[in-house]
Amino acid sequence: MRATPTRQRGFTLVEIAIVLVIIGLLLGGVLKGQGLIDSARVKNIIQQSTSLTAAVNAYQDKFRALPGDDVQGTTHAPGATGNGNGDGQIAEYQLAPQHLALSGFITGSFNGTTDFMTSAQGGAVYIYNDVVGGRGGNGVRLDNLPDSFAEQVDSKLDDGKFNTGSVRATAPYTNNGSVIQRTALFF
């Protein structure tokens, strides 16, 4: 008796091609979704920095002093834990968010010593007189941003170059996933 050959079953080229297309579409969707999330974080960082700049300007317009540096900070922001020295430089970066919050320019609760604002990326945010990228002055400082985020912030608010303009970073933008130690938006 002769055995009948069994037919081997497998995937056809068309079936494999369809599976590869589906996998490609899924990967594309995931990557596009990550891009949208990153874009939203950058927009939040930009919005936060422009809001803080506006708050500082409003505080200065109302009280003729800079938050944190205000020699009458405890009067202008009842409940504040201290006053600044009035030298025009916001070296009192721990008091600045407290003065702004207690005088109603920003939301949040800051104790004037250890509470810091954070960015959408999770790094610390300061209102501070700093030197970043060869330029010094009062500004909003964002710590530990991915270099691609820092470059997008710089491109949207300034010239896109890490060491010129009003947005400066401590290192060149490489887009290799490295983290920029400090990015400052001077006002």
Establish if 6 belongs to a structural domain. no
Which residue range(s) make up the domain with 64?
14-186
Establish if 123 belongs to a structural domain. yes
Establish if 8 belongs to a structural domain. no
* Residue 3 pLDDT class (50, 70, 90 cuts): low
| Beta bridge partner(s), residue 145 | 180
Say what percent of the chain tops pLDDT 90: 83
User: Nearest Cα to 135, choosing from 158, 159, 182, 168?
Assistant: 168
* pLDDT tens string 138-155: 999 999 999 999 999 999
CA–CA separation, 74 and 157 (whole Å)? 33
* pLDDT tens string 149-177: 999 999 999 999 999 999 999 999 998 88
Q: Does pTM surpass 0.85?
A: no
Domains held by the chain: number: 1
Establish if 5 belongs to a structural domain. no
* pLDDT tens string 57-68: 999 999 999 999
CA–CA separation, 56 and 137 (whole Å)? 14
